[in-house]
């Protein structure tokens, strides 16, 4: 009982940061609307869990209806975050649950631009296979190919030229 009381008082964000799957599950069962709340950085529980790469928690959160493309204060989505971090299986999971591969953040960047900029070739390949538009430009007028070229990522340049 004391343990359950502790879980009920623990915030969803603290449960995620502590990789407390049981806590997240309990909180979402009792308050399913928690999937839509945002922390001080504008992150939803899904955004935070994907950022940390906590697959089990992400899977638990995805059991609840939500906007999978919810954006943080910078306009980044969970898919953009995992493309920045290089988490291929997490990107696949989000795409399988309907994440928009062409969503842009407030600077016009896409998940493909993040994957290209941070030299994650496996993610670039996955995103292209899932319909990412290689011609989208960020607010500075750069495509994913432009970013890969600036970073000297020859493998990614070749993928984007195909």
Q: Are residues 94 and 57 in the same domain?
A: no
pLDDT digit string, tens, across residues 140-149: 999 999 999 9
Domain boundary among 43, 66, 89: 66
Residue 5 has pLDDT above 80, yes or no: no
pLDDT of residue 10: 52
Which CATH number covers residue 77? 1.25.40.20
Domain boundary among 47, 66, 85: 66
Domain count, the chain: 2
Residue 153 has pLDDT above 70, yes or no: yes
What is the residue range of 58's domain? Answer: 1-66
pLDDT of residue 162: 87
- Percentage helix, strand, coil for the chain under 3-state DSSP, each rounded to 5: 55, 0, 45
Give the residue from 54, 104, 129 showing the smallest Cα distance to 160. 129
Model's pTM, two decimal places? 0.89
pLDDT digit string, tens, across residues 24-41: 999 999 999 999 999 888
Q: Are residues 22 and 86 in the same domain?
A: no
Q: Are residues 146 and 129 in the same domain?
A: yes
Residue 9 has pLDDT above 90, yes or no: no
Which CATH number covers residue 31? 1.25.40
pLDDT digit string, tens, across residues 41-92: 899 999 999 999 999 999 999 999 999 999 999 999 999 999 999 999 999 9
The residue ranking higher by pLDDT, 3 or 112, is 112
Q: Are residues 100 and 157 in the same domain?
A: yes
Q: Are residues 77 and 150 in the same domain?
A: yes
Reported as a pLDDT band with limits 50, 70 and 90, residue 6 is very low
Q: Are residues 50 and 75 in the same domain?
A: no
Residue 74 and residue 106 in contact, taking contact as beta carbons nearer than 8 Å: yes
């Amino acid at each position: 009982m004391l343990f359950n009381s502790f879980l009920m008082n623990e915030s969803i964000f603290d449960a995620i940061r502590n990789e407390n799957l049981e806590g997240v599950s309990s909180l979402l069962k009792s308050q399913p609307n928690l999937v839509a709340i945002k922390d001080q950085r504008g992150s939803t529980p899904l955004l935070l869990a994907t950022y940390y790469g906590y697959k089990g928690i992400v899977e638990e959160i995805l059991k609840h209806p939500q906007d999978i493309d919810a954006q943080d204060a910078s306009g980044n989505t969970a898919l953009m975050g995992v493309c920045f971090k290089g988490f291929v299986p997490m990107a696949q999971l989000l795409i399988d649950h309907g994440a928009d591969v062409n969503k842009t953040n407030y600077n016009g960047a896409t998940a493909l631009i993040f994957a290209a900029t941070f030299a994650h070739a496996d993610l670039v390949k996955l995103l292209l296979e899932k319909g990412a538009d290689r011609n989208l430009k960020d607010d500075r007028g750069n495509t994913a190919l432009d970013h890969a070229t600036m970073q000297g990522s020859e493998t990614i340049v070749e993928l984007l030229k195909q």
